């Protein structure tokens, strides 16, 4: 099986081209490819398949590292488009990609790619617990579920143990949730994230969008731009009245063949 490997601010993916839509991947195969010791290694997998939507030529079949299906991935869609461009499967400066969260338009910029992520939809207040400590949080949907918890200071953020899924209210998040912990205030925040089906990752694009939207709301702003620092790098999030834009780098680092 041919594959490529790419990342966006350290959020890394195995990319599998399936240009004829003839390669249905089982959960166990996805998990094997994403295994960091016995496979290629990645936070998730991006299968490149033909789109059924007339607005986009290609569909991003995004899977978590455990093989489970996910609706959307902000870093993943930038890496997906970078792969399309380098393989000659798309031309810039704007590329439409079909996802389970709808068609996303990606613009190629000098220093990376910018994605129209759609609006941030606020849900109810909730909470997350880690190692016996509980923090209030805000539910946000970016096409996938997020719970944003704002912490008191940098030391508290650094001390977090995110080896296991934080506890959350399953009545609010019946399909699981990505949990973000943030410090700072708009226009500059810092975050860590535990992604459902994966664990802690170096970066999460949809999570950065959720954190920025919450930070702006806390600052009394409905719109604005935030710099979001993550362990893997920096993303820029712009919230408008209609949508949220996510901008950042995406690179392809390897190509090869995987033998099951």
Tell me what pLDDT residue 45 has: 99
Going by C-alpha positions, the residue among 19, 77, 14 that lies closest to residue 50 is: 19
Tell me what pLDDT residue 260 has: 80
pLDDT (mean) for 29-46 = 98
Contact 97, 80 (CB under 8 A): yes
Whole-number average pLDDT of the chain: 98
What DSSP state is assigned to residue 39?
S
**Sole residue written with tokens 């063949």:** 257
The reply to whether 206 sits in an annotated binding site is: yes
Catalytic site residue from 34, 73, 209, 226: 73
Q: Is a pLDDT exceeding 90 seen at residue 42?
A: yes
* Furthest-apart CA atoms within the chain: distance in Å: 53
Q: Chain centroid to CA 207: how far?
A: 6
* pLDDT tens-digit readout, 60-109: 999 999 999 999 999 999 999 999 999 999 998 999 999 999 999 999 99
Q: Which two tokens stand for residue 159?
A: 């001390």
Q: Which two tokens stand for residue 221?
A: 């702003």
The reply to whether 64 sits in an annotated binding site is: yes
* pLDDT tens-digit readout, 204-218: 999 999 999 999 999
At 100 the three-state DSSP class reads coil
Pairing of strands 121-130, 133-141: antiparallel
* Active site (annotated) includes residue 209: no
The reply to whether 105 sits in an annotated binding site is: no
What domains are defined for the chain? 2-111+248-257 (3.10.310.10), 121-242 (3.10.310.10)
Catalytic site residue from 34, 149, 204, 209: 204
The reply to whether 75 sits in an annotated binding site is: yes
What are the backbone dihedrals phi and psi of residue 207, each rounded to the nearest 5 degrees, phi first? -65, -40
Tell me what pLDDT residue 211 has: 99
Tell me what pLDDT residue 129 has: 98
Cα separation, 64 vs 80, whole angstroms:
15
Alpha-carbon distance values, 86 to 58, 250, 253 (Å): 14, 12, 11
Length of the chain counted residue by residue: 260
* pLDDT tens-digit readout, 156-204: 999 999 999 999 999 999 999 999 999 999 999 999 999 999 999 999 9
Tell me what pLDDT residue 24 has: 86
The reply to whether 178 sits in an annotated binding site is: yes
The reply to whether 11 sits in an annotated binding site is: yes
Cα separation, 206 vs 102, whole angstroms:
14
pLDDT (mean) for 29-39 = 97
Tell me what pLDDT residue 30 has: 98
Q: Which two tokens stand for residue 28?
A: 């166990």
Q: Euclidean distance between the first and final Cα of the chain, in Å? A: 8
% pLDDT > 90, the chain: 98
* Active site (annotated) includes residue 73: yes
Tell me what pLDDT residue 92 has: 86
Cα separation, 194 vs 41, whole angstroms:
17
The reply to whether 74 sits in an annotated binding site is: yes
């Amino acid at each position: 099986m041919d594959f490529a490997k790419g990342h966006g601010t350290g959020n890394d993916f195995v990319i599998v081209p399936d240009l004829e839509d003839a390669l249905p991947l089982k959960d166990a195969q996805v998990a094997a490819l994403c295994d960091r010791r016995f496979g290629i290694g990645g936070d998730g997998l991006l299968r490149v398949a033909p789109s059924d939507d007339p607005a986009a030529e290609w569909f991003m079949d995004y899977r978590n590292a455990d093989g489970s299906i996910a609706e959307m991935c902000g870093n993943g869609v930038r890496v997906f488009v970078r792969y399309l461009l380098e393989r000659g499967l798309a031309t810039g400066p704007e590329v439409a990609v079909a996802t389970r969260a709808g068609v996303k338009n990606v613009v190629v910029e000098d220093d990376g790619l910018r994605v129209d992520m759609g609006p941030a939809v606020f849900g109810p207040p909730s909470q997350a617990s880690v190692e016996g400590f509980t923090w209030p949080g805000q539910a946000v949907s970016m096409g996938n579920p997020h719970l944003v918890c704002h912490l008191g200071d940098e030391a508290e953020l650094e001390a977090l143990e995110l080896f296991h899924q934080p506890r959350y209210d399953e009545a609010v998040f019946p399909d699981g949730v990505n949990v973000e912990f943030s410090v700072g205030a708009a226009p500059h925040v810092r975050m860590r994230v535990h992604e459902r089906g994966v664990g802690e990752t170096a970066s999460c694009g949809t999570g950065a969008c959720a954190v920025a939207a919450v930070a702006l709301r806390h600052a009394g702003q409905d719109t604005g731009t935030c710099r979001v620092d993550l362990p893997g790098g920096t993303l820029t999030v712009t919230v408008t009245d209609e949508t949220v834009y996510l901008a950042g780098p995406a690179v392809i680092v390897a190509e090869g063949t995987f033998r099951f």
